[in-house]
Amino acid sequence: MMPNILKTRVCSNDAASSASRSWPAVISMHQVKFGGSMLSSRTGVIENRRSKLERMQTIALVTNEQHAATLYISLPEAFIEKKKTLVKLSSKQQGTDQKRAARQRKVLMAGNWKMNPASIKEAREMAALLASSLRTIAQDKPGFDVEVVVIPPSPFLHIVADVLSGTVAKIGAQDVHPESKGAFTGEVSTGMLMSMGVSYVLAGHSERRNLFNESDAVVNKKVKAVLASGLSPILCIGESKEEYESGLVKDVCSKQLREGLVGVSAEDLQEKLVIAYEPVWAIGTGLTATPAIAQSVHSYIRSVIKEMYSPEVANAVRIQYGGSVTPESVDELMTCPDIDGCLVGGASLVAEKFSRIFSYQAPPPGSPEKLYASEVVPCGCTLGESVVWSEAMQSLFWVDSVGQALWSWRPSEGTGTSKPIRWKLPEVVGCVALQESGDLLLGLQSGIFNFDLTAGVARKLTDFERPLDTRPNDGRVDRFGSFVVGSYNNAHRQDGAEIGGLWRLNPDGNMQEILDYKFRCSNCVCFSPDGLTMYFTDTPTRRIFAFDYNPAGKLSNRRLVYELPSSISGGPDGAQTDAQGHLWVCLSGASRVVRLEPLTGAVEAVVELPVTSPTCCTFGGPDLDTLYITTRGPDGGGLYCVKMPPGIRGIAEPMFAWSAVQHGSSCAAPEGKIGPARWSRASDNQGESWMSASSRISQGMDEVKLPRRVTSTNGLLSISSDYQTKPAWLTSGNSSQASRFCADCGHAHTTLTAKFCTECGAPRITLYGQ
């Protein structure tokens, strides 16, 4: 019998998965206190962060009949401190209409008849049918709270107003002259419109701009004239097809908005004025911007107003969408949080269609929640990938795979953010990962490299799957400090060959293949909060699998989590899990990221993007409540983000740590194996100059002036320090600081000085200074 044995048992994630495990569940949320030091029992090998490992004597993991892990520890005067970790599942969030109501923005649906119909008789009939629909809705839906506006041609204004009297509908005019009276043949004044019961007036409609050459200055005069009369202008802005295809959407909308609002007070903008975004390329063509495209522009318009006026004004102003809205498209458009109604063209000429539009339906109960991502860094990556969040540096790192670049950006709190930084790499890069030392791991075409951000030194650690025509692709650090990276067959689109492997770089330097079959294109590498489940896909198969993850062995117990429906194009790309264990998967080619329930595969939320191919995602920000998403060209390439609903956030990104080596910029990596190749002990004879800053720094970036010439000595690619140093935030992570989140359960520490997690009892980890 072993002396001083202390025994405890922890049930694994859930009964369903536990029942099928063939190896002992790994304890990750128990702490061992020994001699005043907290020991984290993570993998069956207890790691002592403050005491020497040799003070530990015996550790064993066994499995009992309930498939729970039992930990035996033989330590003098040892005892276990255990606290149950509760994971609070978020309830279904409020619907988009409720969110919009909380912001006090009433939905406005306006029908612009343009130069239709042909006669007073037809106008009266159209109005009568619409009035009948409005009366029916008033009876059947007493809570109906949508503002309906009909905008007929000027000769029919009084007729339509008479027919619609007694309903909730209001009348709008298609145009107005900025002067109140005078010799202006064919024009109408605000006074004339008011006498006919008009409430709204269009200003700056694309057809007035294009056909009658109305400038922003003329539009601004009309806006101010309408406001002065007490009426409400609907200021129309939007880009042409040529401007859209040239990527000038934001530039055009910003210019038209700023010049159209010259001299408009915050009070008038907040209480009277409405903005209508109309992508000109979609008007009258039957084309429509996707809801994600529309939302991204609406969000940008609101941000411009916030900059021009204030957050309160920006939050109050109503923004309509006006791009060939139909009954078939309106329901999804109205799920967008920044779309407050529609300016409807052709569909408003048919009473039945317009009625279906202004009586749009909210998503049925049980439908996935819709979220919409906006671009935050227009970095223009050819293939953005592998985004990770460094808690210590409060910064994001990601790569442009085909564009051969490493990116970094620090989103600051408040209104300002730092400028992004780019390093040019010598070859295709698949992934980036964090290290506790403050260095990065890079998976390049020729192998895995260590990159010292502070010294500017890159060292090749190992080749990768030579002599195969593969490279590292998707990779993440697991919850136990090892780096797991999958392969990519460079020719898989031509030969379809399954030749790549899934590898784990352990802290002791050993490289281990952990999957018992080969594949073409690895993706979705991520881990459950407790680290006991790993997710993986071979993208061309369009299926995502979960595996039992043994940090000391191979993957086992493969089971299907999700398969893309045939109606959805593309395939699963990068993925990440949140603190509740749900899986967020980028569906490249489908313009969305989905949140999956890990046991059933049910889609619980959808993040829509205005670009075709999201590629990778992770949680970041001070509270880990923002999902950051990389994308690829040709229509994408920027970094996007979306704020999570209350109750959903991520877990701090794990970091790789060498266990037996004082790993620094001048020290060799430990020896290990990867197939037939051995670790490159600084013997990589690559002498090319690389890791220098890109010769072309995109507008708005911080320029990190690294030298143009890089020398190679014994395989170390060194960078001179004779140039401007990097921003302080990029290197500040090398000083000791306490982690804000528990490394075991992801719970936020309650105070800056807390030593242990209040949820699971784990010791607080000190980053970069241990």
**Residue 116 annotated as lining a ligand binding site:** no
Maximum C-alpha span of the chain: 109
Per-residue confidence (pLDDT) for residue 582, from 0 to 100: 98
Q: Does pLDDT of 372 surpass 70?
A: yes
Q: Output the pLDDT for position 283.
A: 75
Backbone φ and ψ for 62, nearest 5 degrees, come out as -135, 170
When comparing pLDDT for 502 and 684, which is higher?
502
Predicted pLDDT at 281: 87
Provide the mean pLDDT of the chain: 79
Does the pLDDT of residue 627 top 80, yes or no? yes
pLDDT category of residue 764 using cuts at 50, 70 and 90: low
Q: What is the pLDDT of residue 286?
A: 61
Note the pLDDT of residue 418: 78
Mean pLDDT of 249-253: 96
Mean pLDDT of 87-109: 56
pLDDT over 80 (residue 567): yes
Answer whether residue 2 shows pLDDT above 90.
no
Q: Is 114 helix (H, G, I), strand (E, B) or coil?
A: coil
The answer on whether 523 is annotated among ligand-binding residues is yes
Q: Is 278 annotated as a binding residue?
A: no
Question: Which pLDDT does position 765 carry in this prediction?
Answer: 53
Which pLDDT does position 79 carry in this prediction?
29
Residue 398 has pLDDT above 60, yes or no: yes
Checking if the pLDDT of 663 tops 60, the result is: no
Q: If you average pLDDT over residues 585-612, what whole number do you get? A: 97
Cα→Cα distances 55→6, 37, 59, 250, 632, Å: 16, 11, 12, 62, 51
Q: What is the pLDDT of residue 362?
A: 86
Q: Give the number of other Cβ atoms within 10 Å of residue 703's Cβ.
A: 13
Mean pLDDT calculated for residue range 208-213: 96
List pLDDT tens digits, range 292-335.
999 999 999 999 999 999 999 999 999 999 988 999 999 999 99
The closest alpha carbon to 583, from 558, 549, 610, 619, belongs to 619
Q: Are 112 and 378 in contact (CB under 8 A)?
A: no
Active site residue 702: no
Q: What is the dihedral of CA 131, 134, 138, 144, to 10 degrees?
A: -150
Q: Is 474 a residue whose pLDDT tops 80?
A: yes
Res 698 pLDDT > 50: no
Residues 116, 122: Cα–Cα separation, whole Å? 9
Query: CB of 458 within 8 A of CB of 452?
Result: yes
Q: What is the mean pLDDT of residues 47-70?
A: 32
Indicate whether 588 pLDDT > 80. yes
> In the chain, pLDDT over 90 holds for what percent of residues?
64
SS (H, E, C) 287-337: CCCCHHHHHHHHHHHHHHHHHHCCHHHHHHCEEEECCCCCHHHHHHHCCCC
Decide: helix, strand or coil at residue 505.
strand
**Of the listed ranges 174-183, 593-602, 661-670, the one predicted with least confidence:** 661-670
Region of 72 please: left (phi>0), alpha (psi -120 to 50) or beta. Answer: beta
Predicted TM-score of the model (pTM): 0.73
Please state the rounded mean pLDDT for residues 700-724. 32
The pLDDT value recorded for residue 56 is: 30
The answer, yes or no, to whether residue 394 has pLDDT greater than 60, is yes
Q: Does the pLDDT at position 521 exceed 90?
A: yes
What is the amino acid identity at position 696? R
pLDDT tens-digit readout, 256-266:
999 999 999 99
**Lowest mean per-residue pLDDT among 100-109, 342-351, 531-540:** 100-109
**690 has a pLDDT exceeding 50:** no
User: 98-107, 207-216, 359-368: lowest mean pLDDT where?
Assistant: 98-107
Weakest-pLDDT range from 85-99, 526-540, 640-654:
85-99
The yes-or-no verdict on residue 22 having pLDDT over 70 is: no
The mean per-residue pLDDT over the stretch 377-392 comes to 96
Angstrom distance (rounded) from CA 274 to CA 272: 7
Taking the mean position of all CA atoms in its chain, how far away is CA 364?
25
Range in 119-133, 646-660, 708-722, 744-758 the model is least confident about? 708-722
Higher pLDDT, residue 15 or 759: 759
Q: Is 4 within any annotated ligand binding site?
A: no
What average pLDDT does range 345-363 have in this prediction? Answer: 95
The owner of tokens 């220098």 is 692
Instruction: Give percent of the chain above pLDDT 70.
Output: 71
Round the CA-based radius of gyration of the chain to a whole number and report it: 30
- Domain annotation for the chain: domains and CATH numbers: 5-81 (no CATH), 97-362 (3.20.20.70), 386-508+654-730 (no CATH), 735-770 (no CATH)
Beta strands in 401-500 (DSSP E): 405-409, 421-424, 429-434, 440-444, 447-452, 457-462, 470-477, 483-489
Residue 133 has pLDDT above 60, yes or no: yes
385 is in an annotated binding site: yes
Q: Residues 478, 548, 573, 684: which is the catalytic one? A: 573
pLDDT at 277: 98
Lowest-confidence region among 502-511, 695-704, 729-738, 745-754: 695-704
Average pLDDT of 508-529?
A: 95
CB distance 333 to 294 below 8 Å = yes
pLDDT of res. 11: 35
Q: Which of 78-82, 169-173, 493-497 has the lowest mean pLDDT?
A: 78-82
Q: CB count, 10 Å around CB of 588? A: 25
Is residue 216 pLDDT above 60, yes or no?
Answer: yes
